[in-house]
Structure 1
Amino acid sequence: MAVSPEYKEFVAEQLEPLGSVRIRNMFGGAGVYLDDLMFGLIAGETLFFKVDDRNRADYVAEGSGPFIYEPPSGKTIAMSYYELPERLYDEPVELIDWARKALDAALATKAAKPVPRKSWNTRKKAARPGKHDARLER
């Protein structure tokens, strides 16, 4: 499901009021980013926005569903990105409102993830002297 350069350019133009939106290729599709925050996904010629409990009902009310990923294992995975209703392409102000809600959902998801901590075992052993450290045996 490759994404055409024309569609990427179209999406970038639609989202221009948000600021410096970047579209990066990934896994046959593309991610839509503002700064380093991914809030959208493009598969084929379809745009999906990040959803959470605060904005999912908007998509469901419009008859939109989630992006479905089907890995080689055959297990179907519904992701937290929903298809943008087609009518919004003709409503640029409302489209940006939906994009901002997607950004909020992406920020909330990022904030909810625990910050990975380095454990003592993953640090370099040379950084802590032990009883077999040659420097201590003098």
Structure 2
Amino acid sequence: MAQHVLVPYDDSQRSTDALDFAIEAHPDSTITAVHVIDPSDFYAATGMEGGAMANYDAIIDHQNERAENLLREASDRAADAGVDIRTDHVIGSVSRSIIDYVEEHDVDHVVIGSHGRTGARRILLGSVAETVARRSPVPVTIVR
């Protein structure tokens, strides 16, 4: 049985399904919901280019606030099921950050939604769940 389960959490229905699955399947484990802030997402959304960093602090503050709100929702969802979870957020490339988190925090199982990204970004960047499953040093459950 897993001692520490990591659930990557974003604003997708798939990540919510993964969290629900982890809560149901691993109620006695430590569950951590982690949100990854991907800098490429907010650069693209704001039209920022490499040298245009004037609003970087404001953008990071906004992304941190968004992450805290998402993770509060995850905590509330778990609490409604009678389970306490940990939450955390990191900045970096999504797949790499998840793998790094596993390695740095004694995680022994990952439960991840089948895809949080959609459309062209998924095709161009590949599936986060697929990359995590291929590179993870621990078992990965992909929830569809």
TM range (shorter): under 0.3
Q: TM-score, normalised by structure 1?
A: 0.26
Structure whose residues are more often helix by fraction? 2
Structure ranking higher in strand proportion? 1
Superposition TM-score, scaled by structure 2 size: 0.25
State the structure with more CA Rg.
1
Higher relative contact order (CA 8 A, sep 6+): 2
